[in-house]
Structures are given as C-alpha cells and as structure tokens.
Amino acid sequence: MTRNDFIKMMDSQVKLIRSEYGLTQDKMSILLGLSKKTLVEIEKGRSSLGWTTSVALASIFSNSSVLINALGGNVEDIIVAIAFNDVDVQYPKTWGGKLWWKTILKKEGYMIQQNLVSQHYRLLDPLYRRHYASFDLVDIETHLHELIHHL
C-alpha cells in the first residue's frame, strides 16, 4: 500500500466513520481541522484528505470498526509502514500477531508476518518487538538476514 492508496482508502471511509460515530459534517470537520465545505467535497469524491489529514483521521478514529475492518487491524502499523518506508527505526513491542496476521517465516526466533487485509509485512524479534515494516517481502527478508548475521 502506498501513501496514495492509504489516502484513497481514508477518503472512501471518512463518511462511514462519521456515520459510525454519529457525527454531523460540522462536528467532523472541526475534529479534522477542515472546513465543512472541504469535508463535503471529500465525501462526494471531488477532493481528498491528503496525507496529513488521512493520518489524523486514522489516529483520531483508530478504534473505528469501519477502519479496523477496512485495514485489517491496527491502523498504526499501516501508517508506520508507509511513513517509515526506507527508514530504519526502533519499534516498540507488539502483541505478536494474535489477530490480522499470518506468519510467513520463522527463523532463529524472528518472525516475518503479513497483515491479512493490507498485505504489508513486519519483522518481529523473539520478544515480539517490531524491527521493520514494509510492503516489500524481499526488503523484510533482507532486514531479517542482516539481523541474524549481526548476532
């Protein structure tokens, strides 16, 4: 999933999320820092949230059933995978993929998992700390190889 894919997904979900939370366009536009006119244009498909407002929407409504079902679980994982594409960061511990994740590979205590909905990958260490996230399996496998050979 690219940034543009994520933005399009958020554009298509904004009205459903607003309805799920029982918000008027006025209240939703205030929450997102948009004018009501801009929100109406987005809901009609004539305008877009853009990256920053898409991330704000996903963050504010991270417990939304609409978003969780559309993206396959934790919205943060997808935002992080997109935002940190090609950037190495130290990720916090995860729950180990109890939901929404399929284990692709286990090697020397490390795991590569793929999200069942968004299809992005993550690399977990033996303590379930995320070391890397990407939509490119070869990229994830390369990071796994580097981790194992630096032990």
> According to the model, what pLDDT value does residue 89 have?
66
CA 137 to chain centre: 16
How much of the chain, in percent, has pLDDT values that exceed 90?
Answer: 54
1-30 average pLDDT score: 94
34-72 pLDDT, tens digit each: 999 999 999 999 999 999 999 999 999 988 999 888 887
pTM for the complete prediction? Answer: 0.61
Return the HEC string of the chain: CCHHHHHHHHHHHHHHHHHHCCCCHHHHHHHHCCCHHHHHHHHCCCCCCHHHHHHHHHHHCCCCHHHHHHHCCCHHHHHHHHHCCCCCCCCCECCCCCCCEEEEEEECCEEEEEECCCCCEEEECCCCEEEEEECCHHHHHHHHHHHHHCC
pLDDT tier for residue 32 given thresholds of 50, 70 and 90 = very high
Per-residue pLDDT tens over the stretch 66-96: 988 888 777 887 887 788 776 666 666 666 6
> For 108-146, how does the pLDDT look when each residue is reduced to its tens digit (9 = 90+)?
999 999 988 888 899 998 888 888 888 889 989 998 998
pLDDT at 21 over 80: yes
Query: What pLDDT, on the 0 to 100 scale, is given for residue 127?
Result: 85
Q: Please give the pLDDT value at position 88.
A: 67
